[in-house]
A and B are shown apart, each in its own frame.
Chain A
Amino acid sequence: MSLAPAPARLGADTPSARKEERTPQRRWPHRYIILTLLAAVLTLLPLIGSNYLLRYAILILQYVGLALSWNIISGYAGYVSFGHVAFFGLGAYTGAIVMRDLPGLPWPIAIGAGGLLCAAVAWPLGRILLSLRGPYFAIAMLGLAQVLRVIASAWQSFTGGGQGVSLPPQQNLSQVYWSMLFVAVAVLALTIKIDGSRFGLQLVAIREDEPAAEVLGVDTVRAKVHAFILSSIAPGVIGALYAWSISYIDPASAFRGHITITMITMTILGGAGTVWGPVIGAVTLSVVSEELWARSPEFYLATFGGIIMLIAMFLPRGVLPYLRHLARRHRRRAAPTGKREVVAPEKGTARA
């Protein structure tokens, strides 16, 4: 078949294929021990950490989840959304209103309702909006967030209008923390599953050349809509968790544009369309932004804007792919040709 080489070439461009080039020697020898330790620390944090640390960790996990979600539709499928806060806000309002009107219900149901409603909204919405390409989709999402904010302020009787929704104060931060950890890990697992899977390759094909992907038999509408739904659920759940932990939301805080800005910056800083890029970006920028908040809150967002601009100008693929590129070049230079041939047979076996 003359078509056969094309998918192979596409595959070679994907992050997972690049990962396979990493040789066993390059991996940390004790990574399982380290990962287990990390998991233990993360799980037990509420028992050892202070309240401040817990709030801080919740914030970081929140952004890890948001950045990873944005990454699915915008990083893998290449449909950049400038209004993903729409789902965060929708989830926040759903969770808060369910808790307000049905106080007897167990909390996980109210939180889950946030994610469920987002998925239910994302399905028809995706079918409409994803027929718009590139900038049209980006701006349509920007507008969606604004429209939802307008609705939240105008629909007095249901959303409380500008006064927002108040909930009983949150006493149990540990519960919020564990839920947030669960969501972040779930989205990470989802991303690992997508990356390199058939579905993931379809998304990357759409990103690189949609008409070509369609010609090769990818059901692009289906793949895009599925990616959109998957990227909407976690923001909804996280929004509901946010409302639950803060116990008060109003249109301005639930649909704050800077939440979108933050998840975009984190993802493209780390590397859009990779598994670990958004995680690295979210953790790094959360720490940086905490410092920035403390020192000069007025330049906090301006710095984020500058970062987005500079990355688009100089590192459009993000930091992680760039570092990998550097590492590969370094290895090629360092290793004499003979050694490289020893390494080569290991290709493809290192897939986690």
Chain B
Amino acid sequence: MEPLVLLQVIVGGLLLGGLYALAAAGLNLIFGVMRVINIAHGEFLMLGAYVAFYCWRATKLDPLIAVPVAMLVTGLLGLLVMRVVVRRVMRGTELTSLLATYGLSILLLNVSLYAFEGVFRSVPAWTGSIGFAGLTISRARGIAFVAAIILSLTVWLFLRYTTLGKAIRATAQHADVAMACGIDIQRVYLYTFALGAALAGAAGALLITFLSVNPSIGSTFILRAFAICVIGGLGSFPGALAGGLILGVAESLTALWTNTQIAEAVSYFLLIVVLLVRPQGLLSSTGVAGGAATSPAGTADAGERG
């Protein structure tokens, strides 16, 4: 194999991985703060992609401007879902919330199949490619990657330095103590869930610029996002970034050496291997800013049993 081809594939994988990381960041944030795994996260991503698509079809709106629109739509939907559904099931066991969000994901998927039809859509806004140090990079992938990284960094800074961000992190570390310190944790939960949903929407709006999207992509992305969170350590924000990049490269290399179908299964094998070998994640959360410098209780549990 020519080294240049290999390098090309690895760079392509990294670019894709940036998007994966953004897709996983919201899931990770919600889990870190609320201990809820939102199975409907993939559907939020899909809805974000469709917002960008309809903006493009109606007004040829640049996807970069469509990203905030998508974030707004999915964020508001997140608020609604949190208020109506998740708030009720949070007090129950972890499995109750899992079942509720699973039901929601099926509901959203099938309503979307009806509303948007099953055909694949894309937003060909940024066509062409850029030459860079002997490599060719698809323009759409490059722009989407940069946007995803900027967005991830913004959220990281937000969590690190703003009052609300600090409140979110405090709640993630210890909800009861945070409450005792005067933090309205119900409000924190509400904003966290909306922010997580908005991040999924943003990832969807960026993805559709270089990937064809139909309503059922949600289920493949929830598996990827979950694998990324586990690889990086559930609840760890930098971990999700690393996990995303690792998965992106692993998928691209597998696609190069075998075929794209098998590449789809890579996230699963990585997930299982990491869960069995290092359940706390490759970058175990060592208290770096992240939505949650929590000790991942769930993962630690899994570790004891493994």
Contacts and interface: CB of A to CB of B under 8 A. Distances in A.
A138 B98 contact: yes
A6 interface: no
Interface string B92-117: 10111111101111111111011000
B110 A136 contact: no
B89 A312 contact: yes
A40 to B, nearest CB: 38
Interface residues of B, number: 49
B119 to A, nearest CB: 15
A154 interface: yes
B262 interface: yes
Nearest to B113: A298
A329 interface: no
A40 B306 CA distance: 49
B245 to A, nearest CB: 20
A316 B265 contact: no
B179 interface: no
A307 B298 contact: no
Which among B103, B222, B264 has the highest number of chain A CB atoms within 10 Å? B103
Contact of A302 (B110, B220, B230, B301): B110
Interface in B247-297: 259, 261-262, 264-265, 267-269, 271-272, 275-276
Contacts of A132: 275, 302, 305-306
Given A128-B276, A305-B107, A308-B106, A299 B88 contact: no
A150 interface: yes
Contact of A313 (B85, B105, B106, B302): B85
Interface in A164-201: none
B50 interface: no
A299 B107 CA distance: 9
B89 A78 contact: no
B219 A316 contact: no
Contacts of A261: 106
Given A146-B268, A298-B114, A312-B100, A305 B109 contact: yes
Looking at chain B's contact residues, the main secondary structure is helix
Interface in A126-157: 128-129, 131-136, 138-140, 142-144, 146-147, 150-151, 153-154
Nearest to A296: B114
A80 interface: yes
B294 to A, nearest CB: 15
Contact of B223 (A146, A304, A310, A311): A146
Contacts of A134: 94-95, 98, 298
A305 B105 contact: yes
B114 A308 contact: no
A311 B99 CA distance: 9
A306 B276 contact: no
B173 to A, nearest CB: 20
A225 B301 CA distance: 18
A154 B301 CA distance: 35
30 contacts: A80-B98, A132-B302, A133-B298, A133-B302, A133-B305, A134-B95, A135-B37, A136-B230, A139-B222, A143-B223, A143-B268, A143-B271, A143-B272, A146-B223, A147-B265, A147-B268, A150-B264, A268-B99, A298-B110, A299-B114, A301-B109, A302-B106, A305-B105, A305-B110, A309-B99, A310-B103, A312-B99, A313-B85, A316-B89, A316-B92
